[in-house]
C-alpha cells in the first residue's frame, strides 16, 4: 500500500485474478450473502448482533463486540473519534447517523498532488462538500468503528460513538505529510478523544533520519502527533501491509511514491521509521484473520507488518481465502456506491461472489488490511473512554493493551513467500512481535 489504503493492495491482488469483464451493478443480493456467511461462519462465530449483515461480521464476534458482549456495557456514547482518511460518505445510512458534520473538515490543499478539485478545502472547515469520500476507504474504516445499530447493514465496535471525518487522503489514496499533520493538529485543537490513521504517510514508507528532507518530514509528523496527544487525543494507527518486521527493517522498494516513477530500492536500518506506526505513544495495530475457524492456524494475516516494541495489539483485519477459501475471510464494512474502491471491486463478484453487496440501497464490501484492524482497536479505545472519560490517552492505551487476549506465536513459523521479512515470531511475558499484547477485546475493555 501507499499511504494509501489497504484496499488498494487488495484491489491489485484480486485484479490479478479477475478474468470476467467488468459489469455494472454486480453486487449480489444481501440475502444471498447472508446465507453464504451463515454457511461459512454460523457454526463458529454465530451472529454478533441483530443487524441484517451480522452473519458476515465474524470480526465483531471474535473481539466480543456484540449484543452478548460489550454492547450491554458500553457503546461509545459521548466519545468523539476522528477518522483521518479519505473522508466519509455523508449519505451512507451506516455512517451518517453518527457523523458530526460540523466538526468534519478537509485538509487537502491546492498543491496536494493527485487531489480531485472537489476535495480541496485548504483547511477551511466550512467547505463540507470537500469531506465527501470519493475513494471509499474512510467510510469503510468509519463504519467498523461506529456503524450504528439501526436495522441497516452492520454494527461497529462502538455503535454510539461520534465520528469526525478528517480528510487527509486524496481520491487516489495518497496521504501526504502536510495534510496528515494538519488533521492531527486539528484533532488536538478540537480535543477529540481518539483518532484513527489507517495509513502510512506519503511520500515515504520509511522516513530515514540520516536524510535531511525525510528527517524534517518525520519531525513535522512527530510534533503533530505529540500536540494531539498533549491535548488528550489517543492516536491509533495501522502497522502496515508490507509483511515487514518493523523492529528489523531491511529494504524499502516503494519510496518515494511521489512523483511517479521515483521509487528506488533502499537498504534501511533502525534509523528509519514508518509514520505514524512508529511514532512514540501511538497505539499500533497488526492484523489477524478469523482466529478460531476450524483448521485455520496462521492467525497473523499474510500481509501484516509486525515488530516487537512497535506493535501494541492485534485486531481483525481479514485475510482473503485464508480460512474458508473465500473473500468473506476479509472484513465487511460500508462503502459509497460509485466510489473508486467500489468501482474496482464490484465487477469481481463474477469470480468472488459477495465481495460487494447492498442493503437498504447502501453499499458494503469485504476488504482486508491493517487498515481494517486499526479501527477495531480505535473502537475498543472509545469504549474505554466512555467508561473513564477523565483518563489521559496513556491510560486508555494501557487499558486496551491490558484487556487484550494474549496470543502465542504461531508454531513452527516460516516466512510465507519471497519478500516476507517476518523471519520469526518472538517475545516473552505475554507480548509477542506479531500480536503485541494480544487480540483486542471489546467486552473486557468496557469492563476495565
Q: Do the domain assignments include residue 401?
A: yes
pLDDT at 24: 53
12 confidence band (pLDDT: 50, 70, 90): very low
| Residues facing 36 on adjacent strands | none
Span 244-296, pLDDT tens digits: 999 999 999 999 999 999 999 999 999 999 999 999 999 999 999 999 999 99
Prior bond of 259 cis (ω within 30°): yes
Over 90: is that where the pLDDT of 367 sits? Answer: yes
Q: What is each CA distance from 129 to 84, 107, 116, 120, 225, in whole angstroms?
A: 16, 12, 12, 9, 26
Contact 432, 299 (CB under 8 A): no
CA-CA-CA-CA torsion for 319, 323, 328, 332, nearest 10 degrees? -50
Q: Are 282 and 309 in contact (CB under 8 A)?
A: no
**Lowest-confidence range among 16-25, 321-330, 412-421?**
16-25
How many helices and strands, by DSSP H and E, does the chain display?
Answer: 10, 17
N-term to C-term CA, the chain: 35
Q: Which of the four pLDDT bands, split at 50, 70 and 90, describes residue 26?
A: confident
Residue 11 has pLDDT above 80, yes or no: no
CA distance 307 to 248: 8
* Average pLDDT of span 359-383: 98
pLDDT band at 6 (very low <50, low <70, confident <90, very high): very low
Residues spanned by the domain of 43? 6-446
Which residues are bridge partners to 357 per DSSP? 28, 364
Which phi and psi (to 5°) does residue 319 adopt?
-160, 95
Provide the H-helix boundaries in 136-176. 137-146
Mean pLDDT of the chain: 94
Residue 303 confidence (pLDDT) above 80: yes
Q: Does a structural domain hold residue 44?
A: yes
Cell 522498494 found at: 253
Separation of alpha carbons 249 and 428, rounded Å: 21
Q: Look at residue 251 and tell me if it is in a domain.
A: yes
What residues have CB less than 8 Å from 102, skipping those under 6 apart?
none
pLDDT band with cut points at 50, 70 and 90 for residue 25: low
pLDDT digits (tens, 9 = 90+) for 132-167: 999 999 999 999 999 999 999 999 999 999 999 999
Name the phi and psi angles at 221, rounded to 5. -70, -40
CATH of the domain at 28: 3.40.50.200
Nearest to 62 by CA among 35, 44, 40, 38: 44
Tell whether 298 is covered by a domain: yes
How high is the pLDDT of residue 429? 85
Query: What integer pLDDT is reported at residue 3 of this predicted model?
Result: 53
- Contacts of residue 301, defined as CB under 8 A and 6 or more positions apart, other chains included, come to 286, 287, 288, 289, 317, 318, 319, 322, 368, 370, 373
For residue 50 the three cell numbers come to 441483530
Provide the pLDDT confidence category of residue 428 given band limits of 50, 70 and 90: confident
Residue 187 C-alpha cell reads as: 484533532
What's the domain count of the chain? 1
Separation CA 68–CA 314 (nearest Å): 22
Predicted confidence (pLDDT) at residue 17 exceeds the cutoff of 90: no
Are 282 and 310 within 8 A, CB to CB?
no
Q: Concatenated DSSP letters for 88-143?
A: B-TT-TTTGGGB-TTT-EE-B-TT-TT--GGGB-TT-TT-GGGGB-SSSHHHHHHH
- Domain for residue 1, yes or no? no
Across 148-197, the runs of DSSP E, i.e. the strands, are 162-167, 194-197
Helix 212-230 × helix 177-189 angle, to 10°? 20
**Residue 403: CB partners within 8 Å, gap ≥ 6?**
440, 441, 444, 445, 447, 448
Comparing CA positions, the residue from 170, 295, 282 lying closest to residue 233 is 282
Q: What is the pLDDT of residue 2?
A: 46
Measured at the CA of 101, the angle between CA 202 and CA 80, to 5 degrees, comes to 75
pLDDT, one tens digit per residue, over 57-104 is 999 999 999 999 999 999 999 999 999 999 999 999 999 999 999 999
User: Which pLDDT value is given to residue 1?
Assistant: 31
Reference 52, options 70, 26, 32; nearest CA is: 32
Among 125, 11, 65, 46, smallest CA distance to 366 is for: 11
Do 208 and 218 form a contact (C-beta atoms < 8 A)? no
Greatest CA span in the chain, whole angstroms?
Answer: 56
Amino acid at each position: 500500500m501507499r499511504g494509501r489504503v489497504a484496499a488498494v493492495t487488495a484491489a491489485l491482488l484480486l485484479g490479478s485474478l479477475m478474468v470476467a469483464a467488468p459489469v455494472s451493478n454486480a453486487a449480489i443480493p444481501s440475502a444471498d450473502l447472508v446465507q453464504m456467511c451463515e454457511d461459512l461462519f454460523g457454526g463458529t462465530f454465530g451472529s454478533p448482533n441483530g443487524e441484517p449483515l451480522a452473519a458476515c461480521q465474524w470480526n465483531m464476534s471474535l473481539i466480543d463486540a456484540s449484543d452478548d458482549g460489550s454492547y450491554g456495557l458500553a457503546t461509545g456514547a459521548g466519545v468523539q473519534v476522528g477518522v483521518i482518511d479519505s473522508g466519509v460518505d455523508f449519505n451512507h445510512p451506516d455512517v451518517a447517523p453518527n457523523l458530526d458534520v460540523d466538526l468534519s473538515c478537509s485538509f487537502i490543499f491546492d498543491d496536494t498532488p493527485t487531489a480531485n478539485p472537489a476535495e480541496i478545502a485548504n483547511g477551511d472547515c466550512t467547505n463540507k462538500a470537500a469531506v465527501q469520500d470519493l475513494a471509499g476507504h474512510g467510510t469503510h474504516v468509519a463504519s467498523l468503528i461506529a456503524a450504528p445499530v439501526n436495522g441497516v447493514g452492520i454494527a461497529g465496535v462502538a455503535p454510539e460513538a461520534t465520528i469526525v471525518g478528517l480528510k487527509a487522503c486524496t481520491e487516489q489514496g495518497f496521504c501526504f505529510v502536510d495534510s496528515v499533520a494538519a488533521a492531527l493538529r486539528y484533532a488536538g485543537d478540537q480535543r477529540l478523544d481518539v483518532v484513527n490513521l489507517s495509513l502510512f504517510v506519503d511520500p515515504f514508507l520509511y522516513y530515514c533520519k540520516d536524510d535531511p528532507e525525510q528527517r524534517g518530514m518525520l519531525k513535522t509528523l512527530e510534533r503533530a502527533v505529540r500536540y494531539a496527544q498533549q491535548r488528550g487525543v489517543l492516536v491509533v494507527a495501522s502497522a502496515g501491509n508490507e509483511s515487514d518486521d518493523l523492529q528489523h527493517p531491511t529494504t524499502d522498494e516503494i519510496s518515494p511514491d511521489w512523483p511517479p516513477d521515483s521509487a528506488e530500492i533502499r537498504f534501511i536500518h533502525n534509523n528509519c521509521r514508518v509514520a505514524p506506526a512508529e511514532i512514540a505513544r501511538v497505539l499500533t495495530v497488526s492484523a489477524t484473520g478469523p482466529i478460531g475457524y476450524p483448521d485455520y492456524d496462521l492467525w497473523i494475516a499474510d500481509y501484516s507488518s509486525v515488530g516487537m516494541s512497535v506493535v501494541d495489539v492485534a485486531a481483525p483485519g481479514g485475510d482473503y481465502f485464508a480460512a474458508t477459501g473465500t473473500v468473506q475471510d476479509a472484513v465487511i464494512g460500508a462503502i459509497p456506491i460509485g466510489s473508486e474502491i467500489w468501482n474496482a471491486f464490484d465487477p469481481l463478484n463474477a469470480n468472488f461472489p459477495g465481495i460487494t453487496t447492498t442493503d437498504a440501497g447502501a453499499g458494503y464490501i469485504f476488504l482486508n488490511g491493517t487498515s481494517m484492524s486499526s479501527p477495531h482497536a480505535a473502537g475498543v479505545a472509545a469504549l474505554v473512554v466512555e467508561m473513564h472519560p477523565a483518563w489521559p490517552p496513556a491510560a486508555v492505551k494501557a487499558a486496551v493493551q491490558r484487556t487484550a487476549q494474549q496470543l502465542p506465536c504461531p508454531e513452527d513459523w516460516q516466512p510465507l513467500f519471497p519478500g516476507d521479512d517476518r523471519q520469526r515470531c518472538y517475545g516473552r511475558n505475554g507480548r509477542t512481535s506479531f500480536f503485541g499484547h494480544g487480540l483486542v477485546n471489546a467486552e473486557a475493555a468496557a469492563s476495565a
